[in-house]
Amino acid sequence: MRDPLSGQPFPGNIIPAARINPDTQKLLSVFPLPNFFDRNISRGNYNYIASDTVDRPARQEVLRLDYNPGPKWRTYFRGMNMYVKQRGLAVTANSNQWGIRQSYDTTNPNMAFNLTYLPSATLVNELALGLSRWTEVQEISSSELARLQRDKLGIRLGQKYPQNNPLNLIPAASFGG
């Protein structure tokens, strides 16, 4: 372990406590402790493996009505309601790398109407109307949220725009190559 200021090795290969930033130390406490130590497999690229089963029940309801009032007329109505409810560490909307459990629920009600008239063998008139709505709700419990809040962790790092962080969260992080 080398001192970045002098380029010389730290005595005993240990960083002196006075050189460790307390806020950074607290930020590091957010990470779980290593649980994987086989460097032959990890090649030193990782030391933690997380496994999670995400509960993702989905419900989809579809109704379609077709009606042909005459030989030149065709019409249908289709309505659909879809609901997906996710719980766990790896829900679709979870972009954090901190191992926080959350929920993510979506709904997608929609409908379509179609009316087709065939006045001749070479002419088709068609009217198609549709309506769709998408909603999503993402929730994190207060206990899980507290694991990411600066004041709960005792982190005093400065913020350039604190008004943009009303939940007082720690800085975002991403990991990868």
Q: Where are the domains of the chain?
A: 19-46+53-164
pLDDT recorded at residue 156: 87
H helices of the chain, where?
22-28, 39-42, 142-146, 150-153
The model's confidence at residue 95, banded by pLDDT at 50, 70 and 90, is low
> How far is residue 87's CA from residue 104's CA, in Å, rounded to a whole number?
7
Counted residue by residue, the chain has a size of 177
The phi and psi torsions of 162 (rounded to 5 degrees) equal -60, -25
Q: From the CB of residue 102, how many other CB atoms can be counted at a distance below 10 Å?
A: 19
pLDDT band at 2 (very low <50, low <70, confident <90, very high): confident
Kindly state the tokens that stand for 57: 């029940």
Residue 176 confidence (pLDDT): 64
Q: What is the pLDDT of residues 44-72, one digit of tens each?
A: 888 888 777 778 899 999 999 999 999 99
Q: What is the pLDDT of residue 23?
A: 87
Q: What is the pTM of this model?
A: 0.62
The rounded distance, in Å, linking the Cα atoms of 125 and 114 is 11
Average pLDDT of the segment spanning 65-93: 92
- Residue 142: both structure tokens together: 């207060």
